[in-house]
Structure 1
Amino acid sequence: MKSSVTENLNEPPPLRTKRVLVASSASKLATLTAGLEKLGARVIPFPTIEIREIADKTAVDAALDALDSYSWIIFTSTHGVSYFLLRMKQRGIPADLWRDRKVCAVGPSTAEALRDAGVLVNLVPQDFVAEGILRALADSHGGLEKLVGCRILLPRAKEARDILPRTLESAGARVDILPCYENVLPEVDEAMVRGIVREPPEIVVFTSSSTVTNFAKILGGNNLKSVFERSTVAALGPITAGTIESLGKRVAILPKENTTASLLQALASHYRGE
């Protein structure tokens, strides 16, 4: 039975000679690029997101000052973890303030970032999306209605889906949304854009809805259509896939789990004809 994306050394790499454009934040490019190259791909790194710390720290500082008042702190990305912990360190806030707080991480990468910082993670959902967090919280409490009156902190991006805070508030929880960082368009390499439009890659990989939205902004309508018509698209997670399909492009490759490892496995399986 095959056990990894590079299982059989006697087989040619499944992505051999294929040009794969990775639309991602810079922080995810290295891991994805390394994995794709092991599969034989010729990777075209294409940063579509620049992550920036929120300049105004007033809200973050207020949340840190009231940290002991929260029942749950829910992290939906590794970036949220990084910038929240960075501000704690800058403020000299001791780690023992986490002791009585329950912490939820959206997925294994986010949980690992917290554990690396010495934070106990109480909950990781089976499905690594906001809906999965809601199901996990409901299961752990015997229903979301049991969260009535609970104060919940949500460190996240400046712009993000509202289903998590909206649903928790509807259940009676008090949710404080805490923007710690923002996703902005990076500087565009116009020569690279022209090259992509002239000779689209065989595969385009998107790692989040923001990467899709920014890719569309960078290329523009006609250029985006031209690339989509000639490329196979892979998406990391169902939310990303939905954003792609809203632009009229079918997603051919969608991993079972919202992780880089699962994405690489899905790409390998697709091109092996499995």
Structure 2
Amino acid sequence: MTDLTGSTVLLPRSPARAAGLAERLRAAGVAVTVAPVIERAPAEDAGALAAAVAGLDAGRYAWAVITSVNAVDALVGAGRPTTLADAPVRWAAVGPATVRALHSIGIEPALVPDDATADGIVAAFPPAPSRQDVAEASAPSTDTTTVLLPLGDLARPTLRDGLTALGWTPDVVTAYRTVRSELPADVVHARYDVIVVTSGSVAREIAAQYGATSPVVAIGRPSADAAREAGLSVAAVADRPTDAALAATVTTVLKERP
């Protein structure tokens, strides 16, 4: 493995979520600092999420589209894993971490796009059935064109708009909120060769709390776009949203730095 002793990397994630990537980088000699800039908080309207879980169990949705581990955790918190696993609905998932989270509660996604983004889900999603198909395939009280989207409060309308264009009826429910976590002063005043950004929210908080003095490696294209919009310099984008891909990308950037 490449020896990158002396290199410094900031992982602005929770210790649990950063552990795998931090271990890989430290094995290469990198000095890794883990300090989250955002935290997950419960949705303000817990009743809406509980109603959505009840709707899954009742067969109100044709699909449930899951875009993050946070959404899985929120659904589990609003119901029971066994209820979710037995729900008469097809599941779609974005990214390997989300797939693993669904597997942990007994759910096998029917759709996992190669492009682990909201755009990727829309591109891979089937068009909605016609009204005649719905009438012939389901009871009158069942709306089989409704798709549950349990999202964070800062989610962009990409999924909602894309699925609507395909003829589906998205039901957007706030599953969790994203709140700021302040960086410690010693982290703010330190210098890092690379900062890893794993979401648009992280990118914006890094720009606001730390500034644009260090290049960033983004977990995917949406995070990279948000980083550039926030004024950050994007050195590279991982080709997959995994610890292995991020570690390889960060390592390459560190080896090529002046």
* TM-score, structure 1 as length reference: 0.81
- Structure 2 residue 164 is matched with structure 1 residue 175: no
* Pick aligned residue for 1:245 from 207, 213, 228: 228
* TM-score, structure 2 as length reference: 0.86
Matches within 5 A, 1:141-180: 141=126, 144=127, 146=129, 150-180=145-175
SS in structure 2 of the partner of residue 119 of structure 1: coil
Deviation of 1:26 (Å)? 4.3
Change (3 A) 1:260 1:145: same
Q: Is the 8 A contact 1:23 1:212 kept in 2?
A: no
Change (3 A) 1:213 1:57: same
Question: Which residue number in structure 2 is paired with residue 3 of structure 1?
Answer: none
Question: Which residue number in structure 1 is paired with residue 67 of structure 2?
Answer: 76
Question: Which residue number in structure 1 is paired with residue 252 of structure 2?
Answer: 269
Distance 2:254 2:194 in 1: 11
Moved over 4 A (4+): 145-149
Cα distance per residue 1:44-88 (max 9 Å; x no partner): 112111111224311012112221110000000011001101211
SS in structure 2 of the partner of residue 47 of structure 1: coil
Deviation of 1:258 (Å)? 2.3
AA aligned opposite 1:184: V
- Structure 2 residue 29 is matched with structure 1 residue 46: no
Identity among equivalent pairs (%): 28
Distance 1:65 1:147 in 2: 26
Distance 2:79 2:255 in 1: 47
| Structure 1 stretch displaced more, 147-156 or 54-63 | 147-156
Query: What is the root-mean-square deviation of aligned Cα atoms in Å?
Result: 2.1
- Structure 2 residue 179 is matched with structure 1 residue 184: yes
Distance 1:177 1:95 in 2: 18
Matches within 5 A, 1:13-162: 13=3, 15-67=4-56, 68-89=59-80, 94-95=83-84, 97-98=86-87, 100-137=88-125, 141=126, 144=127, 146=129, 150-162=145-157
Q: Is the 8 A contact 1:154 1:178 kept in 2?
A: yes
Cα distance per residue 1:10-61 (max 9 Å; x no partner): xx42x32201111224442222211211221101112111111224311012
Deviation of 1:264 (Å)? 0.8
SS in structure 2 of the partner of residue 30 of structure 1: helix
- Structure 2 residue 239 is matched with structure 1 residue 256: yes
Distance 2:63 2:217 in 1: 34
Distance 1:131 1:20 in 2: 29
Q: Which runs of 5+ in 2 are unaligned?
A: 132-143
Q: Is the 8 A contact 2:71 2:175 kept in 1?
A: yes
Change (3 A) 1:147 1:71: farther
